[in-house]
Amino acid sequence: MKPNIDISENELLRQSEEILVELLRDHTTQKNIFWATDDYASLGEAYSYYAPITIPCITGDNGFIIQPRVLKTREEQANRTKDKAEVFTPSWVCNTQNNLIDEAWFGRKDVFNQEHPETKTWTATTLPVSFPDGKTWKDYIRSTRMEITCGEAPYLVSRYDTTTGAFIPISQRIGMIDRKLRVISENTTTTGEWLKMAQEAYKNIYGYEWQGDNLLLAREALLITFIEYYTEKFGEKPQERSIKYIAYIIAWNIFQMDGLKGVVPNSCKHNEVVIEQTLFEAIERTILCPGCQNDTYKGHNGTYCLIRDWGCKDSVTGENNRKIRFIDLIK
């Protein structure tokens, strides 16, 4: 097992506090993402279910607290499976399913790798990816993908196998963003063009997750992957401003949400008593969430999650990359 599968929050803080601040941001609430799990509650009030994840909570002497699932104890893994049905998918399964998506898009098999089902492995293709008539490599970069209930986002990014902890070299990675970055590296020669298209790739990758620690791990993995591919291509790390912008995109696109309701987890209001003053008297009224009562994704009184549609301008405000409610995408 490679030690570098666990991204150090202390190292991120040393590089840039602004980057770590962005990775902790919830753009819907304009606050930090929160723990949304009781797994850390024994550490104190700052680690309770509804407490925000803050930099002091995860750096310094606390820099070891958030770890990938595979590095947690078996008891911790079992508890999370029991409480939140948290079960991660092996990389070979992620690869098979991602290959099916690309087979449909390209119209042919084995675009990025050849699978070896008998050993549950794969071998990456070595020739540059070619594209079918009527489609270009830029079309592929701009094709939108989403991983629902993403956990540590093994379908989006594949630095390591989430079930074994085995580190995966860049040449053999199989995540959706890995494939896009590979195509970008094969089709660009300058840092400017590479960065421009990498930003496009990240703007077209989405994912959501309930638990705050998993969400942070997913965001970190996407950010470090960007740095790794750039370094592999150009022999040096990208500038800090480029890293910050990718972190900003990631914080919008990889977000904290109850996927059944489209709201920030546990934000719906139940049994909240409010006082309404009529002409003659004050009346107590109990608020219930209509959406939760009806067991539907509509009509919730919680905080609906916002995402950015990076390619569109708001018709009212004129703002580029308009904000929309995720729930409004559901037809």
Asked if residue 79 has pLDDT above 80, the reply is no
At 85-115, the pLDDT tens digits run 666 789 999 999 999 999 999 999 999 999 9
Asked if residue 283 has pLDDT above 50, the reply is yes
Confidence (pLDDT) at 128: 97
Annotated domain spans of the chain: 3-72, 91-256, 269-331
Q: What is the mean pLDDT of residues 217-231?
A: 97
Confidence (pLDDT) at 3: 43
At 111-155, the pLDDT tens digits run 999 999 999 999 999 999 999 999 999 999 999 999 999 999 999
d(C-alpha 99, C-alpha 110), whole Å: 7
Angstrom CA distances, 282 to 223, 276, 288, 296, 297, stand at 53, 6, 19, 32, 33
Name 273's bridge partners: 286
Q: Kindly indicate the confidence band of residue 318, based on its pLDDT and cuts at 50, 70 and 90.
A: low
At 3-47, the pLDDT tens digits run 478 899 999 999 999 999 999 999 999 999 999 999 999 999 999
Indicate the Cα dihedral angle 105, 107, 109, 113, nearest 10°: -40
Helix axes of 91-106 and 176-187: crossing angle, nearest 10 degrees: 60
Asked if residue 1 has pLDDT above 80, the reply is no
Asked if residue 171 has pLDDT above 50, the reply is yes
